[in-house]
Structure 1
């Protein structure tokens, strides 16, 4: 008997050991509620800690060497720039109806410097919603059919060939100019650019060609720059080139420019090109300013949250502050500067920083409360404008071609005397000269520094390795909770279908229930797929509404709502009411729906973080709490406890705030005041998103809205 027992024990196979990672997964799933609370709290806290964790900016590329050489721009160049400003602001140009005379003067000045001068004609593009144009250039390619000479714009282009270059690289300087409605600010920006252009035509150290684009901004600054870039990168041959003096007599004023007898340069009517663009600067001067010191504002956000290389901003900030004494600004959400709760939070972090410093002087944790409030306002602005996916200036057209570019807006102190004009020309010109000189030193494109970052001030930033922690913590509970809900639903199904019969019958029943339970999620997946399909249809409906003539924003929004509801009811009836389930599975049907919904939200947020992180971050703040808390209200009412009552209130509040139009109205009211909130404003905002091909529009229609509908379905589920 002992031998038999030993043989039977030896014949038993050893139980396989569970791997540590599997044990960890089982532990997390078993404690999903605690994990969700800890991760979401840590994610929100990490987001508020970003201004504290911001690092000082630094130049990553040593070849840039900003400020290593003394500026060469002298008073003589400033006098030449002033002369051009005076010619552009003279009274005899005001009578011109087409603005050709101003373009002629600018082209003549370019020729006098020996530059290659040419013009670029373009027609106004009509931005229409098109579902296939997302993630491409915002230009729709639709040109007005009935155009006249007054309906097209004229860009004036000047090119200086680098004496030490091979013509393979170029630096672009852009100055928007509307000849029909030009003010002193636009004329001063032209004067600054011309003073720098005149200097660069004489230097011997230039290794990259210089392109000066005077963009005709009568139809928008972005449109003019984008049209020129489109023809520069992908040349097209169309009837636009056939516009001649017979069709448009005013064009004679440009084509009659003769060869300059001193420089030998000649005006050209053909499209001129230089090398590959290394960087671009858009320069603007605001005439009316209430500043008490000379200030320069930097705009860097491009389409879908793209940012230029941080080194380009660092060079501008260093030269402006340490060489020209300018105050550098980036955009802030001014409504946050007066927030009392934000000041209290800043004081808490300031106190924690003092405690940390007392424990170890080497710890550099904590900033002052004032710096924290300003850093948070700047960080929120950077996050907001990146999330919109709309360019904040003409520089956005360059980022569509992966060219690093920023817009510089100079805001001089309020003064109108000529001495101040000369000072602005000198300091602004030397700033542009220094930036061009630094970029000229590069042997390759910008690549050393960051492309993914958030600014908390002109001299502080948060890198992708830091701000991704907050996002990762927010979405980490989603797959854990989804797995926990699926396990609970499957185990409940197995228990409900088992009986107390013979062991063999019980085993057969359990196997049968496991087989059925493992496929129960298909009904929920069918529902989730239906709602996401409906979200795609809702995203395409505006294409139909745009075809309706003379439709106001409010009317368009109401039509959109009615068509969306009609399309949902149609899908519901065609697909045989997928919202209904068998009575046997109703008890945990909502848990499976929630599990599949959370999985789809996790996938959507993950994909969006690759396209536009800011949109994914804001979406996670709205969607993750709503998905995790979603539970049938009927169950909370039955429970009658304080916890269930608090959860029910939280679900109702989150369901209201997370609804896309409600979230827009709340955010717009906080930023601009609730007096400006109306139904038509939401349609105008959405229209701007699809006109600029922002991926945020697709995220709202195909991820955020379906998630909200599914969560509402869970809340209203009848158990």
Structure 2
């Protein structure tokens, strides 16, 4: 060296290690969080709209089911027996205004004549009044304490023991029947079920026991089935057992069947492999006989898709003469926007096929509109978390079950077609039972998480989760970006103050204040979510007030919620002593928004595990609201087109995301705004807690607190 000095290796500057690629990607996404959020949210909405296009045809996954592999065995003789039972029940109802016990005796006699084991199950209705400790609890804890013999319902159960079975498995056939006031549809459902039951008492191929429960539906269709399932899986040994019919003197007449073996003791078969709920609708179809499938259970649970596939396969491919239907939102069929979107998708599909015939993208516009209406109905029914029929009681015990509702083309006076309707309906039920009878294990091959777009098309969880993931993907990135920008703005503000002050600001003190400010934002978010838990408990106290209308109850709920928020915030939200003297700083709203978005991300993620449909709808409402939330004073001060547009969007989303407003808008769109009433929201929420729906807890403990925090950010003084 020229100066006589030489550099040693230790004196050389060591290059800084480059961050790993994944870390660089995270830094890039956070720096471009606004652009990424716009792209992800737009892609998530488009992916949701394209779900009907991406739907797959259903197929039988379990080869052992073999639907339609054997010819139907039900004959005209079984149909005549079913018709005879219908005539006896109809004559009894026309002769006596209150058939009651006599109709149950007739059904029990018909079961007993087939050699079935007949028994009665007594239950009493459950109270649907809200109680905070009864959410997701044992239904028995909500039973009425003061009851009389007249308040009891009585189910009639018949069991056929399988000649080639070991008694370890069973198939359940349920038919709701109001013994006090039945209609012709309920009598028809009992008649078709008896035709199938009569056949199954004679066949030799049966490997699983058959349980037929005629559920006393005087207190609803769900309650008798749920009470019977409760006693089936959790036996009682007290003197008030549901099977103890002798407590009521009128029940003694049930056993007088001329020497037949009828008992009030609770009888059981094996583990339930599947269950079918059979109903016949009073409404008639103009063109053809139809069978509607209802599959949604509590909290969005669905039966194994193979059970639905069996019904569709037998009805559509084995000339039973039934058109299979699933529920759809009829109001969407006339939506002009969907028709335009369907036309665009159909055109794009034609262009894609012209370029490459192997590209199978796009469906006809009419199929897209119908698929979207069915998908919306499936998503809405799952999001409510309320069962769409008595089959939901079976799903609570992990038993795959569906409700089949037959709608005949004929009216009650067209007796010529009764036998044909009974025969085809019996053959369909027989085919489903025969397929389930072939199973050597429980349903497990097909899907449990899916959305239906038609009776023979579905969207699996691997496809529809993409839309949800895209919608919530920007939340952690926006939260991190807001936190970093808030800290950077505070650091620059501290530096500016230190240059003006003759005394330097200590770094340690600056970091401490910054940490307290972040904790203060987290504390506010925690208090608001704690308030959400208080709001969820308020209906218990409101229900104690007698003679309140739904509108009055809702207004009292709103008033108590506002008062509790003010009291809770004034008690717990006071900042720490050393920060109390400091005025609100510019980055406070950004920190609060960052923590709010983080809490929303966690809440939606947890809800997607419990009920995906609820999380999806909640994300569509709350994610744009939280991402666009910004103090209105800042946007009004900017006076630009972008800020003015954001103010309009914030005001619109702030109104729509409010749970009662969102409910009224949806009800108005689907049912007409003339029928919308604020009291309807109370009735809807009341049904949620009556059915132990997790959607109720989501609304009160996730959705409502995040909405309140967004409103707080909008009115923040900066």
TM range (shorter): over 0.9
CA deviations on 1:45-76 (whole Å, 9 max, x unpaired) are 00000000000000000000000100000111
User: Aligned residue for 1:135?
Assistant: 136
For 1:136-285, what aligned pairs fall within 5 Å after superposition? Answer: 136=137, 139=139, 141-241=141-241, 248-260=248-260, 266-285=261-280
- Is the Cα contact below 8 Å between 1:156 and 1:215 reproduced in 2? yes
Greater alpha carbon shift after TM alignment, 567-576 vs 10-19: 10-19
- Is the Cα contact below 8 Å between 1:482 and 1:598 reproduced in 2? yes
Per-residue deviation, 1:92: 6.2
Greater alpha carbon shift after TM alignment, 228-237 vs 459-468: 228-237
- Is the Cα contact below 8 Å between 2:92 and 2:103 reproduced in 1? no
Per-residue deviation, 1:5: 5.7
TM-score, normalization: structure 1?
0.96
Distance 1:258 1:507, change over 3 A: farther
User: Aligned residue for 1:365?
Assistant: 361
Distance 1:245 1:56, change over 3 A: closer
Per-residue deviation, 1:511: 5.4
CA deviations on 1:433-482 (whole Å, 9 max, x unpaired) are 00000000001000000000000000000000000000000000000000
Residue aligned with 1:185, SS: helix
CA RMSD, Structure 1 to Structure 2 (Å): 2.0
Distance 1:203 1:410, change over 3 A: same
TM-score, normalization: structure 2?
0.96
Q: Which residue of the other structure, out of 495, 498, 504, is the alignment partner of 2:495?
A: 498
Q: Is 1:291 aligned to residue 290 of structure 2?
A: no
Per-residue deviation, 1:507: 9.7
CA deviations on 1:298-336 (whole Å, 9 max, x unpaired) are 000000000000000000111111121210100000110
- Is the Cα contact below 8 Å between 1:184 and 1:287 reproduced in 2? yes
Distance 1:581 1:57, change over 3 A: farther
Per-residue deviation, 1:418: 2.0
Residue aligned with 1:25, SS: helix
Q: Which residue of the other structure, out of 373, 385, 388, is the alignment partner of 2:384?
A: 388
Instruction: State how far apart, in whole Å, the 1-side matches of 2:112 and 2:503 are.
Output: 95
Per-residue deviation, 1:94: 4.1
Instruction: State how far apart, in whole Å, the 1-side matches of 2:712 and 2:6 are.
Output: 59
CA deviations on 1:519-561 (whole Å, 9 max, x unpaired) are 4210100110110011110010001111111111111111111
Instruction: State how far apart, in whole Å, the 1-side matches of 2:249 and 2:570 are.
Output: 64
- Is the Cα contact below 8 Å between 1:490 and 1:518 reproduced in 2? no
Q: Which residue of the other structure, out of 342, 347, 353, is the alignment partner of 2:349?
A: 353
- Is the Cα contact below 8 Å between 2:243 and 2:266 reproduced in 1? no
Per-residue deviation, 1:515: 4.4
User: Aligned residue for 1:336?
Assistant: 332
Q: Give unpaired runs (5+ residues) of structure 1.
A: 261-265
Distance 1:183 1:573, change over 3 A: same
Per-residue deviation, 1:495: 1.2
Per-residue deviation, 1:134: 2.8
User: Aligned residue for 2:120?
Assistant: 119
- Is the Cα contact below 8 Å between 1:185 and 1:285 reproduced in 2? yes
Q: Give unpaired runs (5+ residues) of structure 2.
A: none
- Is the Cα contact below 8 Å between 1:126 and 1:141 reproduced in 2? no
Residue aligned with 1:118, SS: strand
Q: Is 1:527 aligned to residue 518 of structure 2?
A: no
User: Aligned residue for 2:296?
Assistant: 301
Residue aligned with 1:212, SS: strand
Instruction: State how far apart, in whole Å, the 2-side matches of 1:209 and 1:298 are.
Output: 24
User: Aligned residue for 1:643?
Assistant: 642
- Is the Cα contact below 8 Å between 1:291 and 1:411 reproduced in 2? no
Residue aligned with 1:462, SS: strand
- Is the Cα contact below 8 Å between 1:626 and 1:654 reproduced in 2? yes
User: Aligned residue for 2:673?
Assistant: 674
Residue aligned with 2:215, SS: strand
- Is the Cα contact below 8 Å between 1:288 and 1:414 reproduced in 2? no
Per-residue deviation, 1:143: 3.1
Q: Which residue of the other structure, out of 439, 462, 465, is the alignment partner of 1:465?
A: 462
Instruction: State how far apart, in whole Å, the 1-side matches of 2:489 and 2:525 are.
Output: 22
Q: Is 1:106 aligned to residue 107 of structure 2?
A: yes
Size of the aligned set, in residue pairs, is 711
Distance 1:241 1:627, change over 3 A: closer
Instruction: State how far apart, in whole Å, the 2-side matches of 1:63 and 1:235 are.
Output: 33
For 1:609-620, what aligned pairs fall within 5 Å after superposition? Answer: 609-620=608-619
For 1:579-590, what aligned pairs fall within 5 Å after superposition? Answer: 583=582, 585-590=584-589
Greater alpha carbon shift after TM alignment, 380-389 vs 547-556: 547-556
Per-residue deviation, 1:130: 2.2
Per-residue deviation, 1:44: 0.3
User: Aligned residue for 1:263?
Assistant: none
Q: Is 1:445 aligned to residue 446 of structure 2?
A: no
Distance 1:244 1:24, change over 3 A: closer
Distance 1:519 1:14, change over 3 A: farther
Per-residue deviation, 1:653: 0.4
User: Aligned residue for 2:48?
Assistant: 47
CA deviations on 1:161-205 (whole Å, 9 max, x unpaired) are 001110000000000000111111111111111110011011111
Residue aligned with 2:218, SS: helix
Per-residue deviation, 1:248: 3.7
Instruction: State how far apart, in whole Å, the 2-side matches of 1:245 and 1:381 are.
Output: 42
Instruction: State how far apart, in whole Å, the 1-side matches of 2:450 and 2:208 are.
Output: 28
Distance 1:242 1:396, change over 3 A: closer
Per-residue deviation, 1:140: 5.3
Q: Is 1:404 aligned to residue 404 of structure 2?
A: no
Greater alpha carbon shift after TM alignment, 417-426 vs 632-641: 417-426
Distance 1:718 1:155, change over 3 A: same
User: Aligned residue for 1:435?
Assistant: 432
Instruction: State how far apart, in whole Å, the 2-side matches of 1:500 and 1:242 are.
Output: 77
For 1:27-46, what aligned pairs fall within 5 Å after superposition? Answer: 27-46=28-47
- Is the Cα contact below 8 Å between 2:178 and 2:216 reproduced in 1? yes
Instruction: State how far apart, in whole Å, the 2-side matches of 1:682 and 1:196 are.
Output: 43
Instruction: State how far apart, in whole Å, the 2-side matches of 1:50 and 1:651 are.
Output: 28
- Is the Cα contact below 8 Å between 2:120 and 2:243 reproduced in 1? no
User: Aligned residue for 1:596?
Assistant: 595
Greater alpha carbon shift after TM alignment, 480-489 vs 118-127: 118-127
User: Aligned residue for 2:534?
Assistant: 537
Per-residue deviation, 1:700: 0.4
- Is the Cα contact below 8 Å between 2:294 and 2:403 reproduced in 1? yes
For 1:680-699, what aligned pairs fall within 5 Å after superposition? Answer: 680-699=679-698
- Is the Cα contact below 8 Å between 1:46 and 1:469 reproduced in 2? yes
Greater alpha carbon shift after TM alignment, 289-298 vs 386-395: 289-298
- Is the Cα contact below 8 Å between 2:134 and 2:141 reproduced in 1? no
Q: Which residue of the other structure, out of 547, 552, 557, is the alignment partner of 2:554?
A: 557
Per-residue deviation, 1:513: 2.8
Instruction: State how far apart, in whole Å, the 2-side matches of 1:212 and 1:512 are.
Output: 75
Residue aligned with 1:237, SS: coil
Residue aligned with 2:277, SS: strand
User: Aligned residue for 1:423?
Assistant: 420
- Is the Cα contact below 8 Å between 1:497 and 1:509 reproduced in 2? no
